[in-house]
Amino acid sequence: MTNKLRTLILDDDPVYLKLASQRLEEDFVVFTALCPTDAFDLLSNERIDVLICDYSLPEMDGVEVVKAVKTLHPGTDVIMISGGIEEQHIVDAFDSGVIDFLQKPFDYTTLKISIERAKNFVSLKKKSKKMERYNSFLTRKLNEQDSFGLIYCSESMQYMQSQMEELAKDDSISVFITGEIGLYKDSIARRIHNLSCRSNKHFAAINTAAVTDAMFETKFFGYDKAVVKGTRKDELGWFEIAKGGTLFFDEIADLSIYQQGKLNSVLQNKKYAKIGSRKKMDVDVRLITACSVDLEVLKANNTLRSDLLQKLNGYNLNIPPLRDRQEDIPLLMNYFIRHFSKKMRKIIHGFDVFAEQKLMEYSFPGNTQELSNLIERAVILCEGDTLNLDHFPSVIAEKDERVAVINSFDLGLIERDIIVRALIECDYNKTKAAKLLNLNWNALHRRLQKFKIVIPEGVG
């Protein structure tokens, strides 16, 4: 398939047409026409990038031809040629929309240069239209509540989008979302909800790591006001809040064995009762769960009860990491710079070439969330209208020890360090440390085992 520019020469001189065609056909795809009628027939059946049009023609003059072409075929650009060079002809030609005007006789090198200029003009127009569509796309995404972090053009994410659309059609299928941290699994869950027939009902997101055994039944099932002194109204649980809608469990593996058993029983019977009430209520929610641990690892380690996992894993939706879809990075960069500029009421147009290149080379171990954090911090630091390398110290400081840890993509070391710092802050009191980290005790205990963190004897 040729990428040559497609040109149409319209002139009533057959000798000139033949000569011009021979001179140009090496560099361009050339069509010819002796009259406007033939030219319009060609324009209707062929894609023409550039029309080379004589000013003096039978049927109508060149200016009338240009006006008709601009109305019927606005994507075609026009170069006007003429044997005479009256000033009014030139003015009329440019007013009608031509991009160049050449006087006969001219050498064909001059004509080729003019066509090349037209080629560049065509390219700029295409880029401009692409940017218009792109800007419209980003503006639309900025206004969509479920789109934060979900901007993509990669094939892998487009395939995932098609999966989400199919899953939204059947709300009886529970969805189990897996993928590394920082991939906005909550946004994926919310989009499935918004695409489904349950979109007009509540979407309830639950941070399971913050749910203790003691509060589990209260949070999930609610309670009758009669059983809690001083309470004037019933407490709604998540199953009741999300009735008819979607219940999203974030990091489902953080549920304790006790909590898993309770949840499994409810899903098995499709019934639950508020604390202090004998009345059984129907479970009417779409279940979507998320976990940053691979599904096979969950099964191998028995982190989740197999019967519960079977109920939750109606369909496994795995999100590819950002480093495996580099084509999405520029889209996300521009989305986040618009989002945070608007949020902070700053006018920032974009990135300089060095900052853009450095970000494109970065591996983003923390995925989309890390990119979002980096740009948010950069927008805060920026006092001008362009983000540069100075605004991304953690990306360029390769020798910095803290960044070296990040660049090695050992997020486990980062998480371990945070937990150790919390333990030290709380004098190794695990209950206080769990509260500081917004984790339940079981979630903290699993992390202590995972990272082989030993509590000194006599403390904690």
CATH number for the domain harbouring residue 347:
1.10.8.60
Statement to judge: residues 363 and 433 lie in one domain: no
More confident residue, 300 or 313: 313
Q: Give the CB-side neighbour count of residue 328, counting CA atoms within 13 A.
A: 22
Distance CA 179, CA 79 (A): 55
Q: Answer whether residue 330 is part of any domain.
A: yes
Q: Which residues contact 307 (CB under 8 A, 6 or more apart)?
A: 264, 268
Tell which residue, 11, 79, 6, has the closest CA to residue 45. 6
**CA dihedral of residues 171, 235, 266, 192 (deg, nearest 10):** 20
Number of domains in the chain: 4
Q: What is the pLDDT at residue 113?
A: 81
How does pLDDT run across 53-73, given as a tens digit for each residue? 988 888 888 889 988 888 888
Q: Answer whether residue 456 is part of any domain.
A: no
The domain that holds 221 is classified in CATH as 3.40.50.300
Q: Record the tokens describing residue 355, joined without a space.
A: 């900052």
The domain that holds 421 is classified in CATH as 1.10.10
How does pLDDT run across 334-353, given as a tens digit for each residue? 889 988 998 889 989 888 87
Distance CA 152, CA 357 (A): 19
Q: What is the pLDDT at residue 153?
A: 83
| Per-residue 3-state assignment (H helix, E strand, C coil) for 74-127 | CCCEEEEEECCCCHHHHHHHHHHCCCEEEECCCCHHHHHHHHHHHHHHHHHHHH
Q: What is the pLDDT at residue 263?
A: 95
Mean pLDDT score across all residues of the chain:
84
* Residue 270 amino acid letter: K
Statement to judge: residues 204 and 70 lie in one domain: no
Which of 261, 286, 320 terminates a domain? The answer is 320
Q: Answer whether residue 371 is part of any domain.
A: yes
* Residue 452 amino acid letter: K
Secondary structure of residue 18 in the 3-state scheme: helix
Q: What is the pLDDT at residue 2?
A: 59
Statement to judge: residues 164 and 292 lie in one domain: yes
Statement to judge: residues 370 and 312 lie in one domain: no
CA angle 382, 386, 388 (to 5 degrees): 75
Peptide bond into 365 cis (omega under 30): no
Statement to judge: residues 111 and 190 lie in one domain: no
Statement to judge: residues 220 and 330 lie in one domain: no
Statement to judge: residues 368 and 338 lie in one domain: yes
Give the domain extent around 421: 411-450
Q: What is the pLDDT at residue 164?
A: 94
The domain that holds 40 is classified in CATH as 3.40.50.2300
Statement to judge: residues 177 and 196 lie in one domain: yes
The whole-model pTM stands at: 0.61
Residues paired with 148 in a beta bridge: none
- The size of the chain, in residues, is 460
Q: Answer whether residue 337 is part of any domain.
A: yes
Secondary structure of residue 286 in the 3-state scheme: strand
How does pLDDT run across 422-441, given as a tens digit for each residue? 887 888 888 888 877 777 77
Contact 148, 187 (CB under 8 A): yes
* Residue 213 amino acid letter: D
How does pLDDT run across 101-126, given as a tens digit for each residue? 887 777 778 888 888 777 776 665 55
- Over 90: is that where the pLDDT of 417 sits? no
Q: Record the tokens describing residue 348, joined without a space.
A: 């920032």
Statement to judge: residues 187 and 279 lie in one domain: yes
How does pLDDT run across 210-262, given as a tens digit for each residue? 888 988 999 999 987 766 666 667 789 999 999 999 999 999 999 999 999 99
Distance CA 220, CA 237 (A): 5
Q: Answer whether residue 381 is part of any domain.
A: yes
Q: Answer whether residue 402 is part of any domain.
A: yes
Q: What is the pLDDT at residue 257?
A: 92
Tell which residue, 71, 77, 61, has the closest CA to residue 116. 77
Residues paired with 8 in a beta bridge: 31, 51
Which of 295, 320, 345 terminates a domain? The answer is 320
Statement to judge: residues 179 and 240 lie in one domain: yes
Which of 320, 348, 373 terminates a domain? The answer is 320
- Over 70: is that where the pLDDT of 458 sits? no
How does pLDDT run across 161-201, given as a tens digit for each residue? 999 999 999 999 999 999 999 999 999 999 999 999 999 99
Q: Give the CB-side neighbour count of residue 6, counting CA atoms within 13 A.
A: 12
Distance CA 137, CA 125 (A): 18
Statement to judge: residues 309 and 401 lie in one domain: no
Residues paired with 275 in a beta bridge: 223
Statement to judge: residues 273 and 334 lie in one domain: no
DSSP code string of 326-350: TTHHHHHHHHHHHHHHHHTT----E
Distance CA 178, CA 161 (A): 15
How does pLDDT run across 362-416, given as a tens digit for each residue? 888 889 999 999 999 999 988 888 898 888 887 765 434 444 444 444 556 667 7
How does pLDDT run across 72-106, given as a tens digit for each residue? 888 788 888 887 767 777 888 888 888 888 877 77
Q: How far apart are the first and last CA of the chain?
A: 72
Tell which residue, 22, 408, 375, 185, has the closest CA to residue 30. 22
